[in-house]
Structure 1
Amino acid sequence: MELGSIVEFLENKSILVTGATGFLAKIFVEKILRIQPNVKKLFLLLRAADTKSATQRLHNEVLGKELFRVLRDKWGSNLNSFISEKVTPIPGDISCENLGVTNLNLREEIWREVDVVLNLAATTKFDERYDVALGINTLGASHVLNFSKKCVKLKMLLHVSTAYVSGEREGLILESPLKMGKALNGASGLDVDKEKKLVEEGLNELNELQATEETISLTMKELGMKRALMYGWPNTYVFTKAMGEMLLGQFKENLPLVILRPTIITSTYMEPFSGWIEGIRTIDSVLATYCKGKLTCFLADPECILDAIPGDMVVNCMIVAMVAHANQPCEMIYQVGSSLKNPLKLVDLHDFFFKYFHENPWINKDGKAVKVRKSILFSTTFVFHGYLAVRYMLPLKVLQFLNFLLCQILRGMCNDHNRKIKMLMCLVELYKPYLFFKGIFDDLNTDKLRLAATESSSKADLFYFDPKCIDWEDYFINIHIPGVLKYVLK
């Protein structure tokens, strides 16, 4: 692997970015415009009906964000002309053929000009509707691949997946490709076309029955979870992302392909400034509940490793991988995380939360400081449910029921007075696969990429992505938690 100057590689290049309003996409776009103003063009695909709507989304949901303040300070009144020259919003939808780009002239311009395609479009809801998740995470990946093959100057397709396509595997998880049709639990019959047909038939049947939108949504959510569990994945999100990887590997032909698998993405570590984040992301759902004093107990293994990685490190890895594998007809997989090099235990994260909010309490709507205490962490489902039964005076006979059935009964017994337990059960069910995760993500390929960047680029420090440099206590207490409070909980 040889790397020249990473910054120079980006000069005069045109890049197509899907999912342009997403968290990572914003960080990527901001970084490229900041470090390489001589980039030729950023084509940003946004889900929109027309160019006017796409332009509005670009300015409201991307460029208007606090993330771009450094760029605004740098360019001042010239920023708008710089943006109009370098950035082209594209109305489209990756769940459609040709990415939903209906303007033929624009489509042909992209095919003629683009050097790199970066696929960041995804729905990340664990329990997303199956038709939606399949359309974006699975079939969308195929549509991006087919579109990329028509780009005559293309040097690389970089697809961002998730490390958790591994399911709930234990031990060292290698940077290995997923084989088409291979289920995690050994079940036979996994076929993307079959899944697509199943969804279409299900929707047709619901429409014939004149089902309400609420019924359709619930049915599709249940179908997604059912199909995921059938083949060994814990939720619809990672199942559909896994099938997307399978399609890319099977049909890429000679296209240079890099699949990046980040772990749990957190706020920016340094660039363009520390602590920027957008939306409630995984662990922040727990944080948002805990700071308000509503999380007194939780189901989790305290010794479990929580694999977190700041968003700017993921983007830096993406950029370096682009340069390293341009024009190489191969499939490379990079797992970007911290569990091997700098593990973070759940019990430590819990301590960071307590320390921060003990010293900086949340002020509620009545203007009173909310006192927090260390939550009780239960390492088994049975003991956790027993605690809930006693604390909330639920009949102890519920302890006879196990796992899923018990969850349903506990949830069903909650009334408005006990919304706290209902919210808690939802959090537990959603995140349980990751609160007992026993896997460690190998990053041998990623480590080689880091080394290559350090040895061959004079500006390698611009593209840091080594998790060993992170002091987790300092990061969470002084960067991440304040960032979530400022940019998400406001």
Structure 2
Amino acid sequence: MTQTTTTRVLLTGATGFLGQAVLERLLSGSDDIHVTAVVRPKGSQSGEARLKQLLRKPSFKTWRDAVGRERAQEIFDARTSVLEGDLTGLREIAEPFDVVVHSASTVSFDPPIDEAFRTNVGGAVGLYDALRSTGQDPHVIHVSTCYVGGIAKGLRPEAPVDHDVDWQVEYDAAVRAADTAQVESRSPERLESFIQRATSTHGKEGPKSVARAAEEARLEWVRSRLVDHGRTRAQSLGWTDIYTFTKALGERVAEQKWAGAGHRLSIVRPSIIESALRHPFPGWIDGYKVADPLIMAYAKGALPEFPGLPDSVLDVIPVDFVVNAIVALVREEHREADGAPTPRDAQDPAARYYQVCSGASNPLPFHQMYESVRSYFRERPLEDSHGNPIAVPEWKFPANNSMERGLAVKEKLAAAGSRLSSVLPATARTREWTNSLHRMQTGLGSLRTYVDLYQNYTRTEMIFDDTHTRQLDRSLPQDTPEDQHFDVRAIDWRDYWQSVHLPALTEMTRAYTRAKAASRKRAVRSRGLNEGTDVVAVFDLEGTVASGNIITQYAQLRRRELSPLQWPAELTELFGNAPTYIKAERRDRGEFIRAFLRRYAGVPVARVEELMDGSLGRVVENSIRPGALERIEEHRRAGHRTVLVTGSLDLLVSPIAELFDDVVAGRMDQVDGVLTGYLAAPPLVDEARAQWLKRYAQDHGLDLSRSYGYGDSVADVSWLSLVGHPYAVNPDLPLYRRAKKAHWPVEDWRKA
């Protein structure tokens, strides 16, 4: 201890779930502790700003209400400070500390191998090296996990993990693995596969979209490769996943660099941390934790079965029990209580181990937890999107291999359906089928994640000893308030699930659903458009404003030009070239337009103008969809600039030009009044249209963030993405999927 009346604590991971709860308890439970938090900047937000934000979070509400908002702010400002930076970049820690609580950790069980090592191992190395460089001797409380022992059965003691893995060798290998994956991802063969994949899904959007998608595919491949690498390496050495493996190596770093040098070290191993039983209030939780996605997927009917062991002990611990154990170690009150010995490992007297868990003293078999959850949601079911109660399934806990076979079959069917949907025409029925397929794929993806990840925790046969932790709790002074104890035998599990955790979890889920629904509702177009002369409404023609396309335009014109004897031959030739046109359209919209408009070669301009002034013009006018006419008029009443943009020829859209302020269409060269079949400029499609729109807005002083765009094809994505209000109108299936993902409104203009 320093020769002052204030205990100075260095806290890592303060912005996380456990870290913020520890900070709140240190501030609210005593007045003689000062906390310095290691917080890294995030984007433009400084570490200090991120720390100050914590006071406004629900974890501090009970304390804020008790002392008053202003007083809480004064205490927070006076008793906290920030050491800004990342643990891996700490050079030294100049300020003297009595206690260090190291709770920073990756929050993912399946991160890339290099990310897991940098956070869980590199962070520990950076912290202990920085402490040693200043000659300090604080008591370090290193937060780990009960699952550091890897794949095992039986009782797991509060002691060092028995392994001979060299953390430095593994750390260096993980860093090299990331470099190797980056190099492999840039090989010609890999890059060609990424380009092909990107072209198949984004080719119609333009070359830059293809390039972006190819690079995204490369980065996705690298991440997937490193995730697989981490999982496989961990399992090859006897751990279930890279998280538990790197947490075990983080412990070894602490043992070697800190306890091994004669410093005081307490390693705290929580099991699965869930919502608070008592403090700061029953049910407090900060986002979904380990078991919660599984619970909510079950409540939504998305998990018809699960391959867990019904008699496996699901070791869950309320977060306030973990916090109380850490705070007890910070204050070291157990050293003075009734002369009770400090729990230490016999082989390493400088290190102490505390497993804050429930399996040994108050076990919760998986089938009991399942029954508590099932009965809760049978009595209080969630509702589907139509307001109907969701019936929760009854689990039979099948063998893992039978469920795996069934899941694999469903995944193959979903993949086949996805391939089929990419070539189907866009109709109301196929769009609904696409929605159903998307829901099916999402559900299967979630189920795969749960099966691969959670079965490691629901099929375990390990029991974690908590002898040292119970001794620590008994060593607290007799006048310690109940909500500062951590004796797990005080937990009634059925009451905890049904009266504390599940109500909090469902309310958090409903709040998220309400916020999500409100966000989507704001994205839906208001019938009353905001007025403004700096707003443009851009309309695509074919398939959006009009029911026809450049093929039907041509057919209607030639039908009026050819005799009844000539027309069948023209029609036969047109159909004969259809496969070529379809392939061109799928590759590139501009390629298709160029190829098809060559058919106008030799057509007199005067004849086209004559037809547009007569019967063919009336056909064009009648092809305008009722919904389009309504929307165009709405924009004009709001004072918006209306623009029609089309790849069709300007000669063919002249009958409807008066509906818009501007019409931007293709123009074909002519010689002696005869069309040549060659465009005067490249067609204005996909990314070319996006660049045109940027320049058009700049030239006319328009605010694209307030503007509107209407398109029907995935080729329109690049320019629709530029406006603040994009709409998918009678979309093809690729655009429909993009619109649903981005929450763009989808409208049908075929009727008023």
Q: Where on the TM-score scale, by shorter chain, does this alignment land: which range?
A: 0.7 to 0.9
Shift of 1:409: 6.6
- For the pair 1:332 / 2:326, whether they are aligned, the reply is no
Q: Select 1:117's aligned residue among 91, 95, 100.
A: 100
Map of 1:22 onto structure 2: 16
Partner AA of 2:497 in structure 1: F
Map of 2:145 onto structure 1: 162
Partner AA of 2:486 in structure 1: F
Name the SS of the counterpart of 2:354 in structure 1. Answer: strand
* 1:178-212 deviation per Cα after TM superposition (whole angstroms, max 9, x unaligned): 25x52xxxxxxx32222222233233334445643
Shift of 1:14: 1.2
Q: Is the 8 A contact 1:49 1:91 kept in 2?
A: no
Shift of 1:282: 1.4
- For the pair 1:126 / 2:120, whether they are aligned, the reply is no
The 1-side partners of 2:105 and 2:318 are apart by 19
User: CA 1:152/1:85 → structure 2, altered by over 3 Å: closer, same or farther?
Assistant: farther
User: CA 1:340/1:206 → structure 2, altered by over 3 Å: closer, same or farther?
Assistant: closer
List aligned pairs for 1:91-490, cutoff 5 A: 91-98=84-91, 107-108=93-94, 110=95, 112=96, 114-150=97-133, 154-179=137-162, 182=164, 190-208=165-183, 211=186, 212-252=218-258, 253-324=261-332, 330-378=350-398, 380-385=399-404, 388=407, 394=409, 416=437, 418-419=440-441, 420-453=443-476, 456-459=477-480, 461-487=482-508, 490=511
The 1-side partners of 2:318 and 2:141 are apart by 19
* 1:144-203 deviation per Cα after TM superposition (whole angstroms, max 9, x unaligned): 222233566643000000000011211111111125x52xxxxxxx32222222233233
Shift of 1:237: 0.1
Name the SS of the counterpart of 1:158 in structure 2. Answer: strand
Name the SS of the counterpart of 1:340 in structure 2. Answer: coil
User: CA 1:76/1:126 → structure 2, altered by over 3 Å: closer, same or farther?
Assistant: closer
The 1-side partners of 2:404 and 2:474 are apart by 48
TM-score normalised over the length of structure 2: 0.56
TM-score normalised over the length of structure 1: 0.84
Partner AA of 1:84 in structure 2: D
The 2-side partners of 1:440 and 1:18 are apart by 29
The 1-side partners of 2:373 and 2:69 are apart by 38
User: CA 1:470/1:215 → structure 2, altered by over 3 Å: closer, same or farther?
Assistant: same
Partner AA of 1:204 in structure 2: D
Q: Is the 8 A contact 1:164 1:263 kept in 2?
A: yes
Q: Is the 8 A contact 2:382 2:390 kept in 1?
A: yes
Q: Is the 8 A contact 2:230 2:241 kept in 1?
A: yes
* 1:268-315 deviation per Cα after TM superposition (whole angstroms, max 9, x unaligned): 010111001112211111111011111111111111110111000011
The 2-side partners of 1:475 and 1:160 are apart by 24
**Which segments of 5 or more consecutive residues in structure 1 lack a partner in the other structure?**
1-8, 102-106, 183-189, 396-407
Shift of 1:82: 1.9
User: CA 1:306/1:357 → structure 2, altered by over 3 Å: closer, same or farther?
Assistant: same
Q: Identity over aligned residues, as a percent?
A: 29
Partner AA of 2:487 in structure 1: D
Shift of 1:385: 3.5
Q: Is the 8 A contact 1:25 1:120 kept in 2?
A: yes
Shift of 1:364: 2.8
Map of 1:13 onto structure 2: 7
Q: Is the 8 A contact 2:185 2:221 kept in 1?
A: no
User: CA 1:450/1:166 → structure 2, altered by over 3 Å: closer, same or farther?
Assistant: same
The 2-side partners of 1:485 and 1:232 are apart by 36
User: CA 1:227/1:464 → structure 2, altered by over 3 Å: closer, same or farther?
Assistant: same
The 2-side partners of 1:52 and 1:171 are apart by 47
User: CA 1:385/1:136 → structure 2, altered by over 3 Å: closer, same or farther?
Assistant: closer
The 2-side partners of 1:343 and 1:414 are apart by 45
Shift of 1:410: 8.6
The 2-side partners of 1:486 and 1:425 are apart by 26
User: CA 1:307/1:209 → structure 2, altered by over 3 Å: closer, same or farther?
Assistant: closer
Q: Is the 8 A contact 1:340 1:443 kept in 2?
A: yes
Flag the structure with more relative contact order, 1 or 2, with Cα contacts below 8 A and sequence separation at least 6. Answer: 1
User: CA 1:75/1:195 → structure 2, altered by over 3 Å: closer, same or farther?
Assistant: same
Name the SS of the counterpart of 1:298 in structure 2. Answer: coil
User: CA 1:137/1:411 → structure 2, altered by over 3 Å: closer, same or farther?
Assistant: farther
Shift of 1:331: 0.3
Partner AA of 1:47 in structure 2: R
Shift of 1:263: 0.5
Shift of 1:248: 1.2
Q: Is the 8 A contact 2:112 2:226 kept in 1?
A: yes
Name the SS of the counterpart of 1:335 in structure 2. Answer: strand
- For the pair 1:63 / 2:55, whether they are aligned, the reply is yes
User: CA 1:256/1:287 → structure 2, altered by over 3 Å: closer, same or farther?
Assistant: same
The 2-side partners of 1:276 and 1:462 are apart by 14
The 1-side partners of 2:400 and 2:417 are apart by 18
User: CA 1:79/1:238 → structure 2, altered by over 3 Å: closer, same or farther?
Assistant: same
When Rg is computed on C-alpha atoms for both structures, the one with the higher figure is: 2
Q: State the Cα RMSD in Å.
A: 2.7
Map of 1:3 onto structure 2: none
Shift of 1:388: 4.9
Q: Is the 8 A contact 2:25 2:327 kept in 1?
A: no
Map of 1:5 onto structure 2: none
Shift of 1:20: 0.9
The 2-side partners of 1:123 and 1:162 are apart by 12
Map of 2:532 onto structure 1: none
The 1-side partners of 2:44 and 2:136 are apart by 25
Partner AA of 1:261 in structure 2: R
**Which segments of 5 or more consecutive residues in structure 2 lack a partner in the other structure?**
187-217, 337-341, 343-348, 419-436, 512-752
Partner AA of 1:17 in structure 2: L
Map of 1:45 onto structure 2: 38
Number of residue pairs the alignment of both structures matches: 443
Name the SS of the counterpart of 2:331 in structure 1. Answer: helix
The 2-side partners of 1:77 and 1:320 are apart by 28
Name the SS of the counterpart of 1:358 in structure 2. Answer: helix
The 2-side partners of 1:287 and 1:431 are apart by 11
Shift of 1:347: 0.8
* 1:19-66 deviation per Cα after TM superposition (whole angstroms, max 9, x unaligned): 111111111111111111332x21111121699611222233x22211
Name the SS of the counterpart of 2:306 in structure 1. Answer: strand
Q: Is the 8 A contact 1:296 1:376 kept in 2?
A: no
The 2-side partners of 1:488 and 1:30 are apart by 24
The 2-side partners of 1:312 and 1:373 are apart by 32
* 1:74-121 deviation per Cα after TM superposition (whole angstroms, max 9, x unaligned): 2322222221111113321123343xx8xxxxx42x3x3x21110000
Q: Is the 8 A contact 2:39 2:82 kept in 1?
A: yes
The 1-side partners of 2:404 and 2:45 are apart by 52
